[in-house]
A and B are shown apart, each in its own frame.
Chain A
Amino acid sequence: MTEKDHDVSRDLLGAPPRVINIGLEIFAVNLADQGAQVAHVRWSPPAGGNAHLAGLLEKLQRK
């Protein structure tokens, strides 16, 4: 571990959490309610997880 890595680790554990949340928004909402700095990234599986439709979309990318 370099000195720089060590400083980063210390900041991570010693400073307030700064969170990037991906997917389920409720996690971001709960953290924000407790005062955490949080950025939410909206994400869901393509086609809501429907394998047939996701497969069609993938094949259509080549068209």
Chain B
Amino acid sequence: MQTIDQANQEALRRILAGDPVLVDVVPASQAIPDLADRMILHAGPPIGWDRMCGPMRGAVMGIAVFEGWAKDLDDAAKHAAAGSFAFHPNHHFGAVGPMTGLTTASQPLMVVENKTFGNRAYCAINEGLGKVMRFGGNDADVLTRLRWIREVLGPALGRAIRESGGIPLKPLIARGLTMGDEMHQRNVACSSLLLRQLAPSLARTSKDAGELVACLDFIGRNDQFFLNIAMAMGKALADPVRDIAASSVVTAMSRNGTDFGIRVSGTGDRWFTAPVEMPVGIYFPGFSEKDANPDMGDSAIVETVGLGGFAMAAAPAVVGYIGAGRASEAAVFTRSMAEIAVGPNPAWTIPAMDFAGVPTGIDIRLVVETGLAPIINTGIAHREPGVGQVGAGIVKAPLRCFQDALVAFAETLGVE
């Protein structure tokens, strides 16, 4: 049997060997055949309606109306409380979703294929900022936008991506890191690079000039458009790392607004959970920490593969945006995350750190030993259903998840 260090080197090798390519946009029912009617996939570890936070409930109510399972939001809440919907984590179906992260049958999902290992991962299309469903928004504007994404943008993107032959994401991310993105709270460069690459294909495959303009305008105005692609890419890179015997590398970090959960390669698909923490950050005008919901979303999959808070040094501008201190302190975050990672990623480097690779492969042993919790850059949702995003900040993964995981991991090796 291999040693823990050998197993972790294999985990790192698999992450680094991955070749993620954006290959398609298809309806969720096609991407995930097991996604049945009245089934709702959500961010984070498993949770039922009774323990869901406000924005998660708000999104569930909205998506039920969107899918035609309820006549209005109140009706949707009654159905949810009565057990009419089956709730499951995105992660159990090869998918991820930001914030509330709801995935249902008729939504279009972006498909990222890891060409090296042949696995696919999925994520819905980013709706933009402010009052959106991923932050718990559920009014008529939110649902109208989601219908347009389903009926116009999703199919148009699918045609364009297929026509382009697919968008290799590894070199795109490498370039984005040199242009100030960390791929969690800053995706300006990668969103722009993607649009530059996709625009000709969008134009060539467009059936309607007005719709083409609307698609280009929607993507062009959304600095976070690339986030959901980065997340699907993170999931596509992390999944081949699952189930390596004796590996203490984290394969998923995720939050449902109530619980934070992690999965570890050597302990299979078991979740280790603890209460989520409250982000520390900056609030939009008119809002404060009193309005904030605790940490939420599958988006920490980008930190799991070395981006987001782990790549903070690449994005000094984001340090100010999320209220994490001075821009000159950005490298401190990345250096401290290197202390809990298996090794650097030579394909994704940071110019401001003499082209050091982003710290990759979180080792639960190092987290527990040092007490350094993974840093996650995140958006902040309003605690009440239906309001939306109120700020952005950083949050630490709860150490208890890693401590409990260490005990279980040791048991798999006969250590007590």
Contacts and interface: CB of A to CB of B under 8 A. Distances in A.
A44 B416 CA distance: 23
Contact of A60 (B4, B370, B371, B399): B4
B267 to A, nearest CB: 13
Contacts of B370: 44
Q: What is the predominant secondary structure among interface residues of chain B facing chain A?
A: helix
A39 interface: no
Nearest to A59: B415
Interface residues of B, number: 17
A35 B371 CA distance: 30
Contacts, number: 37
Contacts of A59: 410, 415
B371 A53 contact: no
A53 B403 CA distance: 7
Interface in A31-46: 44, 46
A48 B370 CA distance: 7
Nearest to B403: A53
Contacts of B407: 53, 56
B253 interface: no
B397 to A, nearest CB: 15
A44 B269 CA distance: 32
A53 B415 CA distance: 11
B406 A56 contact: yes
B415 A60 contact: yes
A63 interface: yes
Contacts of A50: 403
Contacts of A53: 368, 403, 406-407
Contact of B410 (A46, A47, A60): A60
A12 interface: no
A57 interface: yes
Q: What 9 A-B pairs come out closest when comparing CB atoms?
A: A59-B415, A56-B410, A48-B371, A46-B369, A63-B413, A63-B4, A47-B368, A57-B369, A53-B368
Interface of A: 44, 46-48, 50, 53-54, 56-57, 59-60, 63
Interface of B: 3-4, 246, 248, 365, 368-371, 399, 403, 406-407, 410, 413, 415-416
28 contacts: A44-B370, A44-B371, A46-B369, A47-B369, A47-B371, A47-B403, A48-B371, A48-B399, A50-B403, A53-B368, A53-B407, A56-B406, A56-B407, A56-B410, A56-B415, A56-B416, A57-B365, A57-B369, A57-B406, A59-B410, A60-B4, A60-B365, A60-B413, A60-B415, A63-B3, A63-B246, A63-B413, A63-B415
